[in-house]
Chains A and B, each alone.
Chain A
Amino acid sequence: MTITLNNRKETFHGGPMSIARIMEEKSFHFKMLIVKLNGKIISKEAFASTLVNDGDRLDIIHLISGG
């Protein structure tokens, strides 16, 4: 399937995948994150159960201390 991840097209083998698996594959290991799937905020608790489908838009934003 092909999705838009952080404004870039990304292709993954196979069909729908959980957000948690995509984060694992793409090495998003930050503790503080904001995740939006098709514009909707997804809570941390739902990363494993929320499926990303072909054509979806996924935004994974790192939050880093310093201000």
Chain B
Amino acid sequence: MYICIAKIEKLTVKENISTLLAEKCVGIAGAGGLGSNVAAALVRSGVGHLVIADHDTVSRGNLDRQFYFSDQKGHPKVYALQENLQRINSATRLTLFYGRVTTGNARQLFSGCHVVVEAFDMAPEKEWFALWMTENLPHIPLVMGSGIAGWGLSEKIRVQRSGNLYICGHQLETNEKEVPLMAPGVGLVAMIQADIVLEILLIKNDPSL
């Protein structure tokens, strides 16, 4: 009897979560190793609307860690990702932008989002985007990835919080030629970013959960 009640209560909470997440919009800047995997986790979690921006196409070298398949080589990542995400849940609303995120279009892309995930490749892009978001859309939480290369560092991965800024990763400087990006490390940071997004969307919106 107790187990039955526990199950019913759990279901109720899950239904409550589904309703909340279905109304949420998350922006994802970059659809590489972090962005593509964050997107998949958020679609599986039931987030209703994703805004995904990326300028790149799928290459063979991406397949070791990014959420793409070998028959998608040469396709723009945003469209390949749309295809893959729709196979998980065709009801998720996807707004796609095939091009570079710039100071000229970032507001149009992300101002309607409840949370934005930074998933760019290069540190200079991460820097301008974080500064731009903090100055122009300070009310929108920004979940960044920093330090994802290598292996055996899972215990060093952490989340640094500063106001509306969340930085996930090991934050250890690595030489990419010697320490490559590997699927487990990239996936770990991506899943932590997705988890922080859920924390922001659920707990901050409904403290009773």
Contacts and interface: CB of A to CB of B under 8 A. Distances in A.
Contact of A34 (B120, B130, B148): B130
A67 B119 contact: yes
B30 A62 contact: no
A33 B134 CA distance: 14
Interface string B1-38: 00000000000000000000000000000101111000
Contacts of B127: 32-34, 63
A49 B146 CA distance: 27
B187 interface: no
Given A31-B123, A41-B135, A61-B146, A66 B186 contact: yes
Contacts, number: 79
Contacts of B169: 64
A6 interface: yes
Contact of A64 (B35, B135, B147, B186): B147
B122 interface: yes
Contact of B171 (A41, A64, A65): A64
A31 B124 CA distance: 9
Interface in A27-67: 30-34, 36, 39, 41, 59, 61-67
A47 to B, nearest CB: 14
B61 to A, nearest CB: 14
B: contact size bracket: 35 or more
A: contact size bracket: 10 to 19
B114 interface: no
A32 B118 CA distance: 15
Given A61-B167, A62-B173, A67-B32, A6 B147 contact: no
A66 B145 contact: yes
Contacts of A41: 131, 134-135
B160 to A, nearest CB: 6
A66 to B, nearest CB: 5
B176 interface: yes
A36 B126 contact: no
A7 B161 CA distance: 9
A6 B171 CA distance: 13
Contact of A67 (B130, B145, B163): B145
Interface string B128-166: 001100110000000011111100000000001111010
Contacts of A6: 160
7 contacts: A32-B123, A34-B131, A41-B131, A64-B123, A64-B147, A65-B126, A67-B34
Interface of A: 6-7, 30-34, 36, 39, 41, 59, 61-67
